[in-house]
């Protein structure tokens, strides 16, 4: 009954009108059922128009030209930075570094913090559900610095086993890197509990917010975290832009990452002084229009509101859970519906995930199949691949039904009873 009430408050039909791609028929004439939001989200008109506005009206490089266009574009970019600050509750706008995405943000920390502060024997605490972007950079820097990787074990249903946290978190732990929301299992991780224990041990905490920032409130001060990385393109913004939040004290202690223009204060022949935050970590020309577009995406998402987004996405996820569980041979990986975000990955006995994705595509249903950049997790799951449906606030309950019907169609093609 609450379904009806919520659906009427939250007008999906009106929201979908903001996303031009959603009502363009596919090459095969079918309507698009886009359930690959975990890979990248679609963009509302407001974001697309902002990019056009920027390129048509005030395209220029930032922090450089002493001319009208340069002034305007710099103002727009700094407004976007302020929108990011508000979105994640950061204290200071200088703590918001624009990067190319989550991957670059994490590499920046691994490199600029790790190279300076990791000593042989120091420990980094990870876990097997991390995306390669929050695993491989740590492997590399640990290898270089002689640091040790430790892993929080997973429970059988794909959550972090916090009962083991006191064993794996030691006085040598320098940083805990953890995803806010698993891009495969859908698990929402208890960042507050992890951060409290980590800080009590003197360790820093980095949160990979690639999946969590687009789907709920994230506040870097509640619970307190030290670094947050996320991508614009999963937050309904452009590709090529991302964010690294870092505490000012840490960012100031770290050496630069990329070097070149914009990140310097004074360059001499043999050595240089570096710019203040955030420029210190923004070498070269930024993805200017994309950053401004990200600002528009944040406005858009906040206009809908995370409470409404979360409530609607919960309905979608609950319905998907209920219906998928009725399909013979289908196994959902990860925890129960109350402990996850709007991501549901599964296997279907007798149909390989790639065949599944291909057959769903024939029905207009776009999902992702493969290891989703989490090979260690798939090893842990003991499957080579899964099929993933990931929902956004513009998805409808009817699209969940379309997914389930398409899976049944795939089973029929594979001559399964």
The set of catalytic residues is 373
Least separation in angstroms between residue 263's CB and other proteins is 35
| 384 is a site residue for other proteins (CB under 8 A) | yes
Least gap, CB of 28 to ligand PLP (angstroms): 27
Provide Rg for the chain, Cα atoms: 22
- Which residue, 82 or 355, is less far from other proteins as judged by CB? 355
User: How deeply is 181 buried, as exposed, middle or buried, from its count of CB atoms within 10 A (0-12, 13-18, 19+)?
Assistant: buried
Q: Which residues ranging from 282 to 341 are in contact with ligand PLP (CB under 6 A)? A: none
Nearest to 126 by CA among 145, 140, 111, 116: 140
Which residues ranging from 367 to 406 are in contact with ligand PLP (CB under 6 A)? Answer: 373
187 binds ligand PLP (CB under 6 A): no
Q: How is 281-305 classified by DSSP, letter by letter?
A: G--S---HHHHHHHHHHHHHHHHH-
Q: Which stretch binds ligand PLP (CB under 6 A): 44-52, 67-75, 97-105, 312-320?
A: 97-105
Distance of alpha carbon 390 from alpha carbon 222, whole angstroms = 26
> Reduced to 3 states, what is the DSSP secondary structure of residue 277?
coil
348 binds other proteins (CB under 8 A): no
Q: Which two tokens stand for residue 171?
A: 């006085």
| Half-sphere exposure (Cβ direction) of 293: Cα atoms closer than 13 Å | 30
Alpha helices in 191-305 (DSSP H): 191-200, 248-253, 288-304
Instruction: Say whether residue 135 binds other proteins (CB under 8 A).
Output: no
Q: Which CB, 74 or 127, lies closer to ligand PLP?
A: 127
Strand partners, 159: none
Least distance in angstroms from the C-beta of 215 to ligand PLP: 12
Closest among 236, 156, 160, 150 to 194, alpha carbons compared = 160
Does residue 179 belong to the site contacting ligand PLP (CB under 6 A)? yes
Told to check if 134 binds ligand PLP by CB under 6 A, we report yes
Q: Tokens representing 131?
A: 């995306």
Using CB under 8 A, pick the residue from 198, 301, 369, 407 that binds other proteins.
369
Contact region with other proteins (CB under 8 A), list: 65-73, 270-278, 378-386, 398-406: 378-386
Report, in Å, the least distance between residue 232 CB and ligand PLP: 8
Number of residues that bind other proteins (CB under 8 A): 15
Binding status of residue 133 toward ligand PLP by CB under 6 A: yes
Looking at 173, 211, 347, 396, which residue binds ligand PLP (CB under 6 A)? 211
Q: Quick check: 183 binds ligand PLP (CB under 6 A)? A: yes
Least distance (Å) between residue 359 CB and other proteins: 7
Cβ neighbours of residue 294 closer than 8 Å, sequence gap 6 or more: 80, 83, 84, 232, 235, 237, 238, 241, 243
82, 358, 401, 405: residue in contact with other proteins (rule CB under 8 A): 358
Separation CA 256–CA 115 (nearest Å)? 11
Helix (H, G, I), strand (E, B) or coil at 78: helix
User: Does the protein bind other proteins through residue 359 (CB under 8 A)?
Assistant: yes
Q: Out of 33, 88, 210, 407, point to the residue binding ligand PLP (CB under 6 A).
A: 210
327 binds other proteins (CB under 8 A): no
192 close to 219: Cβ distance less than 8 angstroms:
no
In the complex, minimum distance from the CB of residue 347 to other proteins, in angstroms, rounded to a whole number:
12
Instruction: Provide the greatest CA pair distance for the chain.
Output: 74
Question: 68-88 vs 288-304: helix axis angle to the nearest 10?
Answer: 40
φ and ψ at 140, to 5 degrees? -65, -45
The span from the CA of 44 to the CA of 236, in Å, is 7
Q: Quick check: 195 binds other proteins (CB under 8 A)?
A: no
**Minimum separation from the CB atom of position 249 to other proteins (A):** 41
Q: Which does 413 bind (CB under 5 to 8 A by kind): ligand PLP, other proteins, none?
A: other proteins
**Nearest approach, Cβ of 131 to ligand PLP (angstroms)?**
3
Separation CA 285–CA 132 (nearest Å): 27
Residue count at the site for ligand PLP (CB under 6 A)?
13
Could you say which of ligand PLP, other proteins, none residue 102 binds, taking C-beta under 5 to 8 angstroms by partner kind?
Answer: ligand PLP
Q: Which residues bind other proteins (CB under 8 A)?
A: 352-355, 358-359, 369-371, 378, 384-385, 413-415
Write out the residues near ligand PLP by the rule CB under 6 A: 101-103, 131, 133-134, 179, 183, 208, 210-211, 231, 373
């Amino acid at each position: 009954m609450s379904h009806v009430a919520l659906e009427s408050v939250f007008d999906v039909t009106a929201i979908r009108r903001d996303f031009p791609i959603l009502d363009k028929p596919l090459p095969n004439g079918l309507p698009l059922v886009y359930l690959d939001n975990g890979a990248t989200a679609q963009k509302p008109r407001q974001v697309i128009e902002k990019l056009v506005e920027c390129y048509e009206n005030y395209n220029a490089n930032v922090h450089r030209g002493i001319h009208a266009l340069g002034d305007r574009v710099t103002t727009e970019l700094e407004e976007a930075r302020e929108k990011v600050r508000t979105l994640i509750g950061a204290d200071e706008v200088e703590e918001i570094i624009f990067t190319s995405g989550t991957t670059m943000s994490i590499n920046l920390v691994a490199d600029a913090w790790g190279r300076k502060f990791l000593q042989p024997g120091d420990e980094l605490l990870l876990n097997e559900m991390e995306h390669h972007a929050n695993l491989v950079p740590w492997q590399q820097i640990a290898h270089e610095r002689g640091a040790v990787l430790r892993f929080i074990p997973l429970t059988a249903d794909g959550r972090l086993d916090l009962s083991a946290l006191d064993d794996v978190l030691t006085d040598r732990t320098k940083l805990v890197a953890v995803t806010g929301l698993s891009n495969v299992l859908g698990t929402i991780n208890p960042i507050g509990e992890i951060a409290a224990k980590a800080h009590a041990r003197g360790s820093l905490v980095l949160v990979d917010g690639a999946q969590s920032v687009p789907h709920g409130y994230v506040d870097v001060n509640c619970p307190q975290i030290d670094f947050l990385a996320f991508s614009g393109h999963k937050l309904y913004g452009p590709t090529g832009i991302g964010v690294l939040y870092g505490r000012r004290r840490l960012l100031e202690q770290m050496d630069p990452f990329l070097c070149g223009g914009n990140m310097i204060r004074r360059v001499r022949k043999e050595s240089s002084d570096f710019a203040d935050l955030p420029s210190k970590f923004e070498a070269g020309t930024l993805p200017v229009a994309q950053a401004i577009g990200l600002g528009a995406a944040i406005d858009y998402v906040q206009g809908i509101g995370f409470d409404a987004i979360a409530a609607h996405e919960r309905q979608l996820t609950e319905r998907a859970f209920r219906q998928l569980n009725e399909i013979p041979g289908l196994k959902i990986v990860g925890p129960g519906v109350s402990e996850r975000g709007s991501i549901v990955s599964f296997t279907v006995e007798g149909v390989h995930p790639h065949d599944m994705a291909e057959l769903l595509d024939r029905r207009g249903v776009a999902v992702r199949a493969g290891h989703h950049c989490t090979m260690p997790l798939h090893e842990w799951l003991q499957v080579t691949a899964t099929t993933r449906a990931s929902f956004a606030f513009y998805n409808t309950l009817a699209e969940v039904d379309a997914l389930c019907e398409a899976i049944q169609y795939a089973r029929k093609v594979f001559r399964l009873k």
